[in-house]
Structure 1
């Protein structure tokens, strides 16, 4: 619905509205499409049409998937070459890390009969079972842990910080949620977690994409 307000707005108010338009452009994601002036004018036309309550040029319910595919293609075509090269390198590095992780776990299983696996791909070795009562996926737990890459380098450690951490088991990576339900209070376990139930295939801080992770975990307390 259009406004019936015919008063002239001040220069400051005009600036507010223009800035609001700028914010919309950034939040909407249209900057990723590499639009020319004609294409940008079509989007502005669509905004005006929607604002005045008129019908869209096409039925959104009928063209949503085709439109999304088209916009995805436009966004991919507009990725800068350097960024595209970095993305390709990241994908290749992740593939190598995934393969290395599979070999690492395979070797662990063949070398140590105490290393067991689950359907999810999680592998583990229980050093101390702990109490009979085990946490559920919705419990809060307090733990000490050390996280390592398969080359042995430590990327995180509550032990080094000298302070255990408390969290909900449904608030962490899937490998932790599953693995910590295997021990009770006082239990100690080593978790071998592939990337698909850890941090995925994109770099995360000091964890390269596709990395299989090794966690030494002591479950201190369970808080249902």
Structure 2
């Protein structure tokens, strides 16, 4: 995560990149089909941060990053001293660290509510959700001044131009509108089933036929 000294302010309105046909999926969730044979994405729920003719990028929101916890990560980044862990606000103590995807796994991405914004560093996405990848947001969270809702993801999922569309047509993904509970909820292990329920399907009813929400 690269440091920045830009000032913090409220998020402006986002200009959507969705085309007239509504084919772009930024701000929505991708839900892996049960037949997904790529272990990196099996049973994954991905929040799409960007999608255009140039490709797509998203954050897996239902896969834990091993045993890493947020206070430990803050100490490793020298944002806090080890002895300061007990002084962290509750929101920082309980913040989830997730495995965001197989690309740039050594880099952190914070998906968060739009009540926190850093000029030239925060990407507004949709429905009050933003993405920031700078150390300043971690410092703000550690000091109790960060966004109301946030998750930290290590790495991200990326697709080349046309690749995501091909995977959807090839029965790799379903998609549906996002909601705060599926993005930020603490029940990480239940998100996949809840996402399928949101779409209105049960895993046993899905076959090799492609489908969309």
TM-score, normalization: structure 2? 0.25
Greater RCO structure (CA 8 Å; 6+ sep): 2
**Which one has the bigger strand percentage?**
2
Find the structure with the greater CA-based Rg: 1
**Which one has the bigger helix percentage?**
1
